[in-house]
Amino acid sequence: MKTYLAKKNEVKQNWWLLNAEGQILGRIASQAAAILRGKTKPEFTPNVDTGDFLVVVNVEKIKISGKKELKKSYKRHSGIPGGFKSVSVEKQRQKNPLKILGNAVRVMLPHTTLGEKQFKKLKLYSGQAHPHKSQNPKELKLTFASSNK
């Protein structure tokens, strides 16, 4: 039996619509990364972009478990002395709530040009409205296994 390797021109990319209202950040980010990479498809090939497009609405209503809203922070440094910046999740939610889910998904994708290309297929929107109605995205329902055992 031969191993199947997808070719760039053979891959069919679908559009999915996901409502993030009430969903937990880490769980939705891991599922989004799997869809963007194409790991949910049988023809997944690591070096070919086999993933689908994902439109996420109501991103501002995403849940963050525990005390991460206050304690978690996003850090960056410009490279010059005194260029360190730190923003808590609470302030980031007020300033730009789309970056919270965007950052979570970005770090779950490969840190290569292929990963950048896959990240560009993620479309994040506050509220229910989005401009991708002409692509006819299919509704995506996420189900998570119960962690209470």
Which phi-psi region, left, alpha or beta, contains residue 32 (left: φ > 0; alpha: ψ -120 to 50)?
Answer: alpha
Residue 124 lies inside a defined structural domain of this protein: yes
25 within 8 A of 64, measured Cβ to Cβ: yes
Residue 90 lies inside a defined structural domain of this protein: no
**The pLDDT value given to residue 2:** 87
**The pLDDT value given to residue 70:** 87
Q: Which two tokens stand for residue 149?
A: 């055992």
CB burial class (10 A; 0-12, 13-18, 19+) of residue 15? middle
Q: What is the largest CA-CA distance in the chain?
A: 59
Residue 30 lies inside a defined structural domain of this protein: yes
Residue 18 lies inside a defined structural domain of this protein: yes
Residue 72 lies inside a defined structural domain of this protein: no
Beta carbons within 10 angstroms of residue 84's beta carbon: 10
Q: What is the mean pLDDT of the chain?
A: 93
Residue 17 lies inside a defined structural domain of this protein: yes
**The pLDDT value given to residue 149:** 47
Single pTM value for the model = 0.89
The number of distinct structural domains making up the chain is: 1
SS3 44: coil
Residue 74 lies inside a defined structural domain of this protein: no
pLDDT, tens digit (0-9, with 9 covering 90-100), for 19-51 = 999 999 999 999 999 999 999 999 999 999 999
CA 142 to each of CA 18, 29, 134: distance values in angstroms, whole numbers, following the listed order: 8, 11, 23
Q: What residues make up the domain containing 45?
A: 13-64+96-139
Estimate to the nearest angstrom the gap between the alpha carbon of 42 and the chain centroid. 20
pLDDT, tens digit (0-9, with 9 covering 90-100), for 120-138 = 999 999 999 999 999 999 9
Residue 102 lies inside a defined structural domain of this protein: yes
CATH (domain of 27): 3.90.1180.10
pLDDT, tens digit (0-9, with 9 covering 90-100), for 80-113 = 999 999 999 999 999 999 999 999 999 999 999 9
Place of tokens 């490969």: 110
Q: Where are the extended beta strands (E) located within the chain? A: 15-19, 53-57, 73-77, 84-88, 122-124, 138-139
**The pLDDT value given to residue 95:** 95
**Vertex 41 angle, CA 40 and 42, to 5°:** 125
